[in-house]
Structure 1
């Protein structure tokens, strides 16, 4: 009897276990079905979103193509070039800001922009005069675009041929405008570089378009660089189309009151105007240095120039059509002189005597008063060559590897018992080895 009860209990437990297993399997099956259904729903939603996005993009692209074709029929190729050069965001509409260059050209009036850097300027602060010097490019140094070669037209090179003098020979600046060159608080060591104008190019943006004739309005620290370069030509682009892009600086020397700051700028100019197609003039670099007080109230010296110690120092590119895909010609040449230099230290706009009264800035003979400035004693400094190298490596990180002229590389390799790797650096307009 007891054995019979035990058997029945065991059978019941087995049945219950089998039932529970069946229930668990059904539950797992339902959960899998629900999960699969959920995944399917999300997949369909994502697919629908992708199809929608692609559809909207195709629709917009199609509409843009239609507007471009309509614009070409209405304006012709020269008119479309002018329109495209103003249409900075490429939406086929011209905003008031985009129309600004045309308004300035026809009215002759340049509106005063309310830049943050300009707001803090003291009208009674010190000023300095900067002069521009320019010797036009030697046309005979162009390697393949000389007169009559490859059918080069006069219109293509008209902007280059006509650019023989600075656009603005002299300009007066406030000393405090040069605060754009001041180092950040964490970059006060000698040779420690920082970006005045950081590069915006990366593997995703690639490069900026070629079919532009007018530069965008400068912002922030670009304002000073743009104003300086505008002394050479009215259409400077403070950001180049290709890398390395931007402006970089470092402290070369420091005293109790002054910085001597070395800098390097990569910028280019647009020399042509409609109906001519774009002509890009890209010096290898602008370099120079500025000696200014740490509070930017006084500028002792400023100079900016294109180095002319190599046989070629400028790159040129011009289009033969209005679109980005138009044929392009490329050449290089030599520019003897392109520089800006302060005519002297900055001086007060208003002069006060010991009692705080305003006095005349001229003496009894009508001559300007002469100011005597103290000699600067540098507490610490690095050489100009070392500062230039720091800037170069920042612009070209691959130059952390030492490079030597071709003829010197073999002697160095023999001493160090290393092989010679020869590299042609077209961007640097030089042939070097490492």
Structure 2
């Protein structure tokens, strides 16, 4: 009897502890469904700078190339968005800071139409892919790098910040096979939980060199666009936010990158550290030199 009594106590304590653990885990999560006021409206401005530099001068190769690439600008410099448009960035289940979820890229494309009507979530080339023939038909294999993901970066009693990353491109001219493929679009959305309004929305092309891949008439080039951005702010909501739980912007960036590219989980070292590590372990170094980068769509 005493043994059974002890077992009962242990089981009761274990179950109680499990309940406390589950409650704690649940308390760290937030459900963002039905948090937006359906009457929310946000004005969003679009900016699209001309190509400032290119690796192979493709934009100036012929007058036809120049006509395609030299005069790009937003189709709609200003556009108004209602609440439903922003719901596409929200998770469909409770999440905690650091959680990543997949977005429907086709529901984000309407935002990119503010730049150009040829915006599409279907990438015309799958980077890292290779072509082969199987059973009489061409097969494309390789890394899947299209799509969109979001991450809960920060949380307070009154606000939520969602970071996101999107891979998409623009078909400028079908006959010319002209594509404008940004390395990525990244950004953030800050939601006022109390008012159900959008405090800030920003979607932009990171401004590093060779941040866009262009194609036309069978040729390709990597170019630099200083600014390509959508931005909207609620001017009536500008006081400071004190985040109670958050991850760094660098941490959110890494989490989103890992959602696209499995290889990003591999530890990377500066060349000096790699040489020292190889010497310590008596291992060879395999060097792979590439023209461009692996972790975005710019090449």
Task: Quickly say closer, same or farther: Cα 1:373–1:133, change in 2 above 3 A.
Answer: closer
Task: Quickly say closer, same or farther: Cα 1:308–1:411, change in 2 above 3 A.
Answer: same
1:379 aligns with 2:286: no
Partner of 2:213: 315
Which one has a bigger Cα radius of gyration?
1
1:253 aligns with 2:154: yes
TM-score (norm 2): 0.71
Equivalence map 1:101-112=2 (5 Å): none
Maintained 8 Å contact 1:287/1:307: yes
Maintained 8 Å contact 1:264/1:287: yes
Compute the displacement of 1:341 (Å).
0.9
Partner of 1:348: none
2: CA distance, partners of 1:126 / 1:334:
35
Maintained 8 Å contact 2:42/2:233: yes
Maintained 8 Å contact 1:235/1:269: yes
Compute the displacement of 1:284 (Å).
0.6
Partner of 2:260: 395
Compute the displacement of 1:267 (Å).
0.4
Maintained 8 Å contact 1:131/1:343: no
Partner of 1:182: 90
Alignment partner of 1:410 out of 235, 247, 272: 272
Partner of 1:19: none
Any gaps of 5 or more consecutive residues in structure 1? 1-119, 198-220, 320-327, 346-370
Aligned pair count reads 239
1: CA distance, partners of 2:106 / 2:223:
27
Compute the displacement of 1:146 (Å).
5.9
| Residue-by-residue CA offset, 1:371-415 (whole Å, 9 max, x unaligned) | 4565433220010011001111111111100224xxx22234415
| Residue-by-residue CA offset, 1:50-69 (whole Å, 9 max, x unaligned) | xxxxxxxxxxxxxxxxxxxx
Alignment partner of 1:134 out of 48, 56, 69: 48
2: CA distance, partners of 1:230 / 1:158:
20
Maintained 8 Å contact 2:148/2:164: yes
Equivalence map 1:89-100=2 (5 Å): none
Matched residue SS, 1:171: strand
Matched residue SS, 1:181: coil
Maintained 8 Å contact 1:121/1:177: no
Alignment partner of 2:203 out of 304, 307, 312: 304
Alignment partner of 1:155 out of 64, 67, 70: 64
Task: Quickly say closer, same or farther: Cα 1:402–1:343, change in 2 above 3 A.
Answer: same
Partner of 1:195: 102
Matched residue SS, 1:422: coil
Partner of 2:225: 335
Compute the displacement of 1:423 (Å).
3.6
Matched residue SS, 1:411: helix
Maintained 8 Å contact 1:130/1:172: yes
| Residue-by-residue CA offset, 1:212-263 (whole Å, 9 max, x unaligned) | xxxxxxxxx623x222111111210123232400111111111224221110
2: CA distance, partners of 1:250 / 1:236:
23
| RMSD over equivalenced CA pairs, Å | 2.7
Matched residue SS, 1:256: coil
Determine which structure has the larger helix proportion and give its number: 1
2: CA distance, partners of 1:333 / 1:245:
20
Determine which structure has the larger strand proportion and give its number: 2
Task: Quickly say closer, same or farther: Cα 1:146–1:303, change in 2 above 3 A.
Answer: closer
Compute the displacement of 1:428 (Å).
2.8
Matched residue SS, 2:91: coil
2: CA distance, partners of 1:255 / 1:313:
34
2: CA distance, partners of 1:162 / 1:193:
37
TM-score (norm 1): 0.50
2: CA distance, partners of 1:340 / 1:333:
20
Task: Quickly say closer, same or farther: Cα 1:183–1:294, change in 2 above 3 A.
Answer: farther
Higher relative contact order at CA 8 Å, sep ≥6: structure 1 or structure 2? 2
